[in-house]
Amino acid sequence: MPAYNPGTGFRRGNRRFGRQVHPITKKVTGHAGDDWPAPEGTPIPAAYAGEVKEIRNQFNPASGTGWGWYVLLEHSVRGQVVKTRYAHMRQRSPLQVGDKVVKGQVIGEAGSTGGSTGPHLHFEVIVNNTPVDPSTFDFPDDDVRNDGNWAYPFQPLQYKGDEGQTQEIKNPLSVLYYESLANAESGAYPIGSNGIWHGGLHFDRATAVMLNQDVGVRCLTGGEVVAYRVDGKYPVSSYATGDAEYSTGFVLVRHKLQLPTAPRAEGGDNAAQGTGWQSQDASVK
């Protein structure tokens, strides 16, 4: 469930969520979103499916500040009402209030209207009428299936189908996955390079040569987030060769495993054949 990234043509700007010096007023003020510089006219995609709630051109001539042309969308995300704002558009969006949009749909073009020092997208996430840090808000990934199938955490960079579009590889035993994991610099299962038990796998800069790791980690299948931790500041370990930051962040997802019903032996009783158990739920971590 990755955070919003407008994608091709955009880059992460220096102005992010939080208090900072305003480039026009030169005063320290709150910045309610993240800025994504891009060439004027770059298409802006919707962060998630929703409805157009507002289209306005907002500017304060006295202070030289304002959102300029913007679109406000409203979404239903995990049962809560979430709004997203897309500001400083080059011109009025072609959409109308009340229009329905889907994730990734172009809703306008990057520009520099309002209080702006150059073409960019100002993006906000608003939960319960309060702006939150967009880089920490996860929008459900449409690629994650909740029908009992499994999704590999990353898809390959270059795998293309007949129409040139990236295709889903559903077989976790694909040779491509083994080749990508063989490139990993560390973090093997079940024993790490230091000889100590290691219960997982690492995806690093070496596996990124083959896998599309910049779009976020996909959940393996449908489940419930039961715990998570995000480092506000990375801890540091000191070594003889210098200091190194590390992360203690994680997301723990609980899944439900539905066991299949035992096949009934022909001409015999289930219990007599040792298959008399019934389908049941088992929590799997």
Query: Model confidence over 84-108: pLDDT tens digits?
Result: 999 999 999 999 999 999 988 999 9
pLDDT in tens, 15-26: 777 767 777 767
Q: Please classify residue 233 by burial: count the beta carbons closer than 10 Å to its beta carbon, then call 0-12 exposed, 13-18 middle and 19+ buried.
A: exposed
Window from 166-180, 202-216, 262-276 with minimum mean pLDDT: 262-276
Window from 34-43, 119-128, 188-197, 243-252 with minimum mean pLDDT: 188-197
Residue 277's pLDDT is what?
Answer: 37
Residue 159's pLDDT is what?
Answer: 53
How confident is the model over 126-144, as a mean pLDDT?
Answer: 79
Query: Between residues 43 and 259, which one has the greater pLDDT?
Result: 43
pLDDT over threshold 80, residue 165: no
Query: Between residues 220 and 198, which one has the greater pLDDT?
Result: 198
Angstrom distance (rounded) from CA 204 to CA 60 = 46
Q: Note the pTM of the prediction, 2 decimals.
A: 0.51
pLDDT in tens, 175-197: 677 778 888 887 888 887 778 88
Window from 133-137, 158-162, 253-257 with minimum mean pLDDT: 158-162
Angstrom distance (rounded) from CA 245 to CA 104 = 34
Residue 260's pLDDT is what?
Answer: 62
Relative to beta strand 80-89, strand 120-127 is antiparallel
Query: Between residues 69 and 262, which one has the greater pLDDT?
Result: 69
Q: In this structure, which CATH number among 3.10.129.10, 1.20.1270.360, 2.70.70.10, 3.40.50.1820 belongs to the domain 18-136? A: 2.70.70.10
Residue 152's pLDDT is what?
Answer: 75
pLDDT in tens, 219-250: 777 778 889 998 889 999 998 888 989 889 99
pLDDT over threshold 50, residue 148: no
pLDDT over threshold 50, residue 284: no
- Start-end ranges of CATH 2.70.70.10 in the chain? 18-136
CA angle 48, 49, 54 (to 5 degrees): 95
